[in-house]
């Protein structure tokens, strides 16, 4: 029977209802905070962006950010929102000052949605403006106004204060990971020289722009000192790594981190290739120029056109909103060619080191050509004759909002991969099955990736041979048993990624799947527990003598149960690289030859573990 379609079928939603009903349209995926692109971080960014726009316009050099459990507060010292429009600016769509280009010339937030989305998706939201010796406050719940105070005298420093708590009805049980927030704040100060941000007592400040960004993020030896150039609204810095293989980009438009690149990034790559060919008067293969390059790129434009609401990819635009004037491509090409050509002529040592790196990449590419050809033939043959990869229906190549949910589980053994395969969401989740323990690849060259069947097939499944831009899955999840063998497989896989694809880890794509250690249940209720403490809490909650099951491996968990652990309530631990960690030294210590230092480290940490075990 067809549904009755009448006037009663038509419904008009309030602005906050629409945002809450379709949050993905405004902030991308929701998530629980384990991924750096989860919605709770987008909310923080939307609020800080307004403070950054004030700084860019010359008002307020300091921003204060604090997080107390789940409550976020952002305080700037800009002009303060005009008091009569305080409520409208956070509760009326298409309301804001950024439509007036005389006030906000090159702002990211031009659609009048940002803080409205934060307001609508928060269980608690307050905003206070201080300006012209007066202040006004407003308080909201899920976007609904609860209270607006009358204007009061206030001689404090002018500016805006926003406090909010993301709504658990939308985000579930979430957590903030400071590493992600600190990365966001560092990017703000790298892109805005003179800005200072204080976060929970820590100061963030940078004097040298994108040069500082690369210095902070590069943890491998460089082939030559960072080349850092800027002119008008374009700034870029780059070098080549001596040890990593793929390209790595930190690209920004009006301060927005365009993680998916776009016109500006493609224009840079084209212009760099052309400039280097002309400078050295040799028609180098573009891949030999770009292999191992690490780039930071920032451009400012009026009314940027992004390919998604989350603003992670810049579309093709002209520098002037009326369609006249230079294209992004011509603008980037002109500045890069002039400035880089001059730089290389004035710095012959750097020019010589850059040439050596390109020639080295050329030699390695030619040496690897026959091996790569054979490896690709193996991949085609394996795709026809085995089931190592159970693919999903959407991939990285789809639009940004959809691909955020794409996940590849890497597991070992038929029983474990079978359980995950039966329980997964076939639309967004794929499974790659390992055959036994992978090779310890520490210290080996990338040649082993093509010669080793497991690595070759895994690289092909991820589609990361040449660049992360083609990565087919946003989330790569290592799913192994929580025993000694499972831990060893985790380490070997992490070593593989850090050795050959470290930017995949740096960009927040690698995770460890948490699976429950215990099932505690009685006739009324079942509780899955991920630690001894959770088991004790569950026993206390269920009283009596509940049945307790200890899961020894993933294969012991039925597909029906497994579906609950890799669905909406999935628990993931991100694999994070700390800034003060030198990647080469860390890999050598943990995965190199067995040394007395490592033995002592294991013994000391084993003692700590034993001391904390409760009998």
pLDDT at position 501 is: 87
Q: Is the confidence at residue 482, as pLDDT, over 80?
A: no
Q: What is the mean pLDDT of residues 276-284?
A: 95
**Complete DSSP assignment for 260-299:** T-BHHHHHHHHHHHHHHHHHHTS---HHHHHTTEEEEEEE
pLDDT tens sequence across 80-106: 999 998 998 898 875 555 544 444 445
Q: Is the confidence at residue 419, as pLDDT, over 90?
A: no
Q: What is the mean pLDDT of residues 557-563?
A: 81
**Distance (Å) of CA 533 to CA 433, 537, 538:** 32, 6, 9
Q: What is the mean pLDDT of residues 560-564?
A: 81
Provide, rounded to the nearest whole percent, the portion of the chain with pLDDT above 90. 36
- Find which of 488-497, 588-597, 601-610 is predicted with most confidence, using mean pLDDT: 488-497
Q: Is the confidence at residue 124, as pLDDT, over 70?
A: yes
Q: Is the confidence at residue 521, as pLDDT, over 80?
A: yes
- Strand 475-479 and strand 407-412: the pairing is parallel
- pTM greater than the 0.85 cutoff: no
Average pLDDT of the residues of the chain: 83
Orientation angle between helical segments 328-346 and 263-280, nearest 10 degrees: 40
Provide, rounded to the nearest whole percent, the portion of the chain with pLDDT above 70. 84
Q: What is the mean pLDDT of residues 312-340?
A: 73
Q: What is the mean pLDDT of residues 330-336?
A: 91
Q: Is the confidence at residue 574, as pLDDT, over 70?
A: yes
Rg (CA), the chain: 26
| DSSP conformational letter for 148 | E
pLDDT at position 318 is: 56
- Beta carbons within 8 Å of 85's beta carbon, 6+ residues apart: 95
Q: What is the mean pLDDT of residues 5-16?
A: 66
CA distance 300 to 484: 51
pLDDT at position 397 is: 45
Q: Tell me the two tokens of residue 343.
A: 């730089």
pLDDT tens sequence across 360-406: 999 988 887 777 777 777 776 665 445 688 888 876 544 445 566 78
Q: Is the confidence at residue 139, as pLDDT, over 80?
A: yes
Considering only residues 317 and 68, tell me which one the structure prediction assigns the higher pLDDT.
Answer: 68
- Find which of 146-155, 554-563, 587-596 is predicted with most confidence, using mean pLDDT: 146-155
Q: What is the mean pLDDT of residues 583-605?
A: 71
Q: Is the confidence at residue 110, as pLDDT, over 60?
A: no
Considering only residues 29 and 107, tell me which one the structure prediction assigns the higher pLDDT.
Answer: 29
pLDDT at position 608 is: 46
Q: Let me know: does 429 contact 393? Beta carbons within 8 Å.
A: no
Q: Where are the beta strands (DSSP E) in 61-180?
A: 62-68, 71-76, 122-131, 134-141, 144-148, 152-153, 159-166
Kind and range of the H or E run holding 330: helix 328-346
pLDDT tens sequence across 220-247: 889 999 999 999 889 999 999 988 777 8
Q: Is the confidence at residue 296, as pLDDT, over 60?
A: yes
pLDDT at position 615 is: 28
Q: Tell me the two tokens of residue 46.
A: 């939307």
pLDDT at position 119 is: 93
Phi-psi label, residue 36: left if phi above 0, alpha if psi -120 to 50, beta otherwise: alpha
Considering only residues 76 and 396, tell me which one the structure prediction assigns the higher pLDDT.
Answer: 76
Burial call 237-264: b when 16+ CB within 10 Å, e when fewer: bbbbbeebbbbbbbbbbbbbbbbbbbbb
**Distance (Å) of CA 575 to CA 108, 504, 505:** 30, 10, 7
pLDDT tens sequence across 156-179: 899 999 999 999 999 988 999 999
pLDDT tens sequence across 497-516: 888 888 888 888 999 998 88
pLDDT tens sequence across 524-537: 888 888 888 889 99
pLDDT at position 592 is: 72
For residue 609, name the pLDDT band (cuts at 50, 70, 90). very low
**Distance (Å) of CA 402 to CA 255, 407, 422:** 24, 11, 22
Q: Is the confidence at residue 415, as pLDDT, over 70?
A: yes
pLDDT at position 283 is: 94
Considering only residues 257 and 556, tell me which one the structure prediction assigns the higher pLDDT.
Answer: 257
For residue 312, name the pLDDT band (cuts at 50, 70, 90). low
- Closest by CA to 350, choosing from 224, 490, 191, is 224
Q: Is the confidence at residue 589, as pLDDT, over 80?
A: no
- Beta carbons within 8 Å of 205's beta carbon, 6+ residues apart: 189, 195, 196, 197
Q: What angle do CA 178, 247, 402 make, to 5 degrees?
A: 60
pLDDT at position 268 is: 93
pLDDT at position 571 is: 86
Q: Where are the beta strands (DSSP E) in 325-474?
A: 389-390, 407-412, 429-434
For residue 11, name the pLDDT band (cuts at 50, 70, 90). low
Distance of CA 457 to the CA centre of its chain: 25
- Closest by CA to 392, choosing from 453, 473, 288, 460, is 473
Q: For each of the domains in the chain, give its residue range(s) and CATH number, in order of start.
A: 15-204 (3.30.565.10), 209-365 (3.30.230.10), 386-515+552-581 (3.40.50.670), 518-550 (no CATH)
Q: What is the mean pLDDT of residues 174-191?
A: 93
Q: Let me know: does 514 contact 456? Beta carbons within 8 Å.
A: no
Q: What is the mean pLDDT of residues 603-612?
A: 52
pLDDT tens sequence across 426-480: 888 999 988 888 888 888 888 888 888 888 888 888 888 777 777 889 899 999 8
pLDDT at position 286 is: 92
pLDDT at position 448 is: 84
Considering only residues 318 and 334, tell me which one the structure prediction assigns the higher pLDDT.
Answer: 334
Q: Is the confidence at residue 602, as pLDDT, over 90?
A: no
Considering only residues 381 and 339, tell me which one the structure prediction assigns the higher pLDDT.
Answer: 339
């Amino acid at each position: 029977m067809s549904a009755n379609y009448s006037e009663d079928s038509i419904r008009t939603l309030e602005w906050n209802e629409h945002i809450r009903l379709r949050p993905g349209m405004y902030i991308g995926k929701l998530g629980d905070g384990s991924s750096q692109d989860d919605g709770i971080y987008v909310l923080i960014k939307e609020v800080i962006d307004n403070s950054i726009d004030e700084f860019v316009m010359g008002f307020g050099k300091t921003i204060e950010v604090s997080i107390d459990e789940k409550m976020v507060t952002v305080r700037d010292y800009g002009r303060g929102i005009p008091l009569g429009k305080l409520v409208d600016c956070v509760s009326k769509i298409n309301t804001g000052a950024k439509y007036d280009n005389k006030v906000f010339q090159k702002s990211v937030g031009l659609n009048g949605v940002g803080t409205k989305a934060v307001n609508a998706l928060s269980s608690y939201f307050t905003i206070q403006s201080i300006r012209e010796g007066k202040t006004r406050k407003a308080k909201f719940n899920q976007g609904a106004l609860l209270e607006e105070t009358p204007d009061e005298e206030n001689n404090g420093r002018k500016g805006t204060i926003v406090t909010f708590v993301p709504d658990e009805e939308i985000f579930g049980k979430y957590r903030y990971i400071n590493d992600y927030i600190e990365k966001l704040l560092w990017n703000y100060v790298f892109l805005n020289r003179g800005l200072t941000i204080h976060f929970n007592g820590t100061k963030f400040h940078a004097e040298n722009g994108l040069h500082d960004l690369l210095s902070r993020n590069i943890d491998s030896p460089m082939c030559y000192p960072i080349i850092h150039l800027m002119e008008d609204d374009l700034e870029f810095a780059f070098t080549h790594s001596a040890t990593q293989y793929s390209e790595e980009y930190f690209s920004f438009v009006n301060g927005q981190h365009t993680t998916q690149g776009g016109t500006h990034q493609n224009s840079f790559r084209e212009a760099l290739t052309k400039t280097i060919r002309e400078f050295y008067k040799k028609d180098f293969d573009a891949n030999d120029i770009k292999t191992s390059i690490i780039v930071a790129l920032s451009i400012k434009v009026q009314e940027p056109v992004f390919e998604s609401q989350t603003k992670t990819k810049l579309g093709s635009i002209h520098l002037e909103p009326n369609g006249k004037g230079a294209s992004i491509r011509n603008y980037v090409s002109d500045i890069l060619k002039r400035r880089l050509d001059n730089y290389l002529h004035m710095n012959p040592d750097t020019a010589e080191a850059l040439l050596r790196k390109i020639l080295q990449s050329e030699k390695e590419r030619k040496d690897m050509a026959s091996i790569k050809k054979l490896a690709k033939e193996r991949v085609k043959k394996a795709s026809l004759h085995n089931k190592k990869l159970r693919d999903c229906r959407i991939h990285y190549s789809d639009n940004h909002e959809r691909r955020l949910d794409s996940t590849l589980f890497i597991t070992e053994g038929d029983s474990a991969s079978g359980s995950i395969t039966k329980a997964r969401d076939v639309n967004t989740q794929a499974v790659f099955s390992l055959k036994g323990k992978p090779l310890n690849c520490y210290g080996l060259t990338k040649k082993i990736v093509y010669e080793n069947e497991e690595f070759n097939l895994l690289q092909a499944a991820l589609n990361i041979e040449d660049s992360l831009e083609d990565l087919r899955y946003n989330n790569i999840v290592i799913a192994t048993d929580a025993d000694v063998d499972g831990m060893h497989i985790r380490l070997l896989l992490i070593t593989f990624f850090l050795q050959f694809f470290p930017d995949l880890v740096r960009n927040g794509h690698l995770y460890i799947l948490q699976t429950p250690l215990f099932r505690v249940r009685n006739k009324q209720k079942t509780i899955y527990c991920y630690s001894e403490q959770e088991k004790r809490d569950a026993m206390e909650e269920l009283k009596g003598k509940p049945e307790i099951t200890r899961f020894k491996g993933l294969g012991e968990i039925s597909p029906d149960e497994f579906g609950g652990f890799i669905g909406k309530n999935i628990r993931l631990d991100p694999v994070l690289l700390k800034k003060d960690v030198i990647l080469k030294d860390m890999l050598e210590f943990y995965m190199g030859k067995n040394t007395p230092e490592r033995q002592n480290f294991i013994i000391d940490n084993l003692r700590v573990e034993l001391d904390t075990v409760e009998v």
